Amino acid sequence: MSKKYYLRLIVILMYTTLISCTSEVYEVEVTNTMSVERENESVELLVNKLPELIALNVENYGVYDKLTKQFLTTQIIDNDMDGSPDIIVFQPKLDPNSSKYFQLIVQDKSAVEVTFCYSRIVPERIDDYTWENNRIAFRTYGPEAQRLVEEGEKGGLISSGIDCWLKKVEYPIIDKWYKESFNGISYHEDHGEGLDDYHVGTSRGSGGLAIKSGDQYFMSKNFSSFKTITTGPLRTVFLLNYNDWEGPEGPVKEQKIISLDYGSNLSRIVVSLEGTNNISAGISLHDNDGIIESAENNSWINYKQPHEGTVLTNALVSQTKYALGNHTSITGKPDADHFFIDLKVIDGQTIYYSGFHWSESKQFKDNMVWKSYLEDFTNKLDNPIQIKY
């Protein structure tokens, strides 16, 4: 036999050995402890709790449902951006008070999945940062928008408020709307997919932060830098840094990690803070012609308002351990009237969720159904899905 043949044989044997070493099957038990069905809710498997052979080759693995004999959509995420995967995200459907077993098995991942959960910086539109999933979309404003104002140029805005993009289609619209806007098709008008006609200005918009001291409010300016951590079929995650800003008791350091999952009407906002023990997240009251509501345990606030012939309902949600209460601020000044949820800062961090329902999206029948969604959401936050490795 030739040397070339032996070399080829060795390569085949090495490849076969590699496949056999990385095809270990591992099972996890996932438990729903609540008396309601759970779906469109992300479960996170920690890579460092998996067997070493799987952890080292986790990109090759999928989550397999033994009952349906199908692979679930998964996303592997490097949260700390160190080059190694940290979690596997998937969304199982779980019956009330039930457990279900899933297997990690080597999967052919050649099929292209739609990146429903998407975010990016938009330098072609000053420097917005935008994010979306299959139900909602948002944006906020960067350092170039701030510079334009500070240097007396047109087109800028100083605001750490959050803007709502009202979409009524499931497919991604961010890139499409921006591209079309440069061809003369304005995303401020509805062409069948939704539009951006939510006013933020210098307000908190839909979830911007502020510290209350007496009758005065202190807040950051635009984000100063960003990092896109992941986009994918199930989750987008990004980081926003802010320059230190002056609070009532001195300088405040602020950093946000924002994520949005498939199927959710609420963005998760993890805020790292120094210089304050509490902070408030606000919803702009705009023309003060809506209805404000809140949960008995202060875990959510809700503002239902008429909106250009439709109805827009904004909400802010928190785990009960962070919730302090809520308050309104009515000044009569432009962009200054708000409904706030008050939050504790625990070990330098607070977590809350910002989202909305637009009547034209047809995602919820009415405000009662929407409030039921908020109530269920907060209950699920306090009763997370359990994982047994």
CA-angle at 106, arms to 103 and 111, nearest 5°: 110
pLDDT tens, position by position, 263-301: 999 999 999 999 999 999 999 999 999 999 999 999 999
- Residue 331 CA to residue 371 CA, distance in Å, equals 27
State whether CATH 2.70.98 applies to domain 118-387.
Answer: yes
CB neighbours of residue 119 within 10 Å: 25
Question: In the chain, what are the domain boundaries?
Answer: 24-109, 118-387
What is the DSSP pairing of strand 118-122 with strand 386-388?
unpaired
Q: Tell whether the torsion through CA atoms of 13, 17, 19 and 20 is positive or negative.
A: positive
SS3 sequence of 78-126: CCCCCCCCCEEEECCCECCCEEEEEEEEECCCCCCCCCCEEEEEEHHHC
pLDDT for 23 equals: 58
Q: 24-109 has which fold?
A: Immunoglobulin-like (2.60.40)
pLDDT for 241 equals: 98
Q: Which residues of the chain have pLDDT under 70?
A: 1-23
pLDDT for 112 equals: 84
pLDDT for 110 equals: 86
- Residue 38 CA to residue 334 CA, distance in Å, equals 42
The answer to whether 118 touches 172, Cβ cutoff 8 Å, is: yes
Mean pLDDT, rounded, of the chain = 93
75 has which bridge partners? 89
